[in-house]
Amino acid sequence: MTTDNVNFPMDSAVGDLKTAADFQLTQLAGKGDMGAFEEIYTRHHRRVYSICLRMLQNASEAEDLTQDVFIRAWQKLPTFRAESAFSTWLHRLAVNVVLSRHRSGQSERKWIQDDELALGQAAGHSPHPAVAMDLESAIGRLPDGSRQVFILHD
């Protein structure tokens, strides 16, 4: 993998070194460089998996969708214009892949609960004040719709 002839903008979107390296890698991978894409995967797969897992609450489905996100990223890399950080672009792509899977009916779970009491039930169970609340556990107890809003906001 060489970066000799790769020019990248040094503005707010790619100002720091990690983002500049991501930009170089995306330019190379967008031209078909599998080594560059492997490096992108190595750098970002844990974050993408975490997004999928938070949205789905199902580890095996999150693993499958993480792979789908990177397949889609490979296909769409030539369209990445560096108007934002690559990690931001990839995050949005991951969210879109998960949402698309649910819209297409491929998910076995119901996406949004119709039960108006669901939010009250989630808030009704509070742990003992001496016990520190685990964020992942708290996110997991949210109804699907509320969890989506939280994750998209986060």
- How does the average pLDDT of the chain come out, rounded? 75
Give the number of other Cβ atoms within 10 Å of residue 89's Cβ. Answer: 20
CA distance 150 to 131: 22
Distance of CA 13 to the CA centre of its chain: 19
Mean pLDDT, residues 59-85 = 89
Q: Where does the pLDDT of residue 124 fall: very low under 50, low under 70, confident under 90, or very high at 90 and above?
A: low
Pairwise CA distance, residues 53 & 51, whole Å: 6
Residue 132 DSSP symbol? P
pLDDT tens, position by position, 133-151? 577 777 778 888 777 777 7
The model's pTM is 0.57
Give the helix ranges, DSSP H, for 8-153.
17-30, 34-56, 59-76, 86-103, 118-124, 135-141, 144-153
Compute the average pLDDT of residues 9-19.
51
CA atoms within 13 A on the CB side of 35: 4
State residue 6's pLDDT score.
44
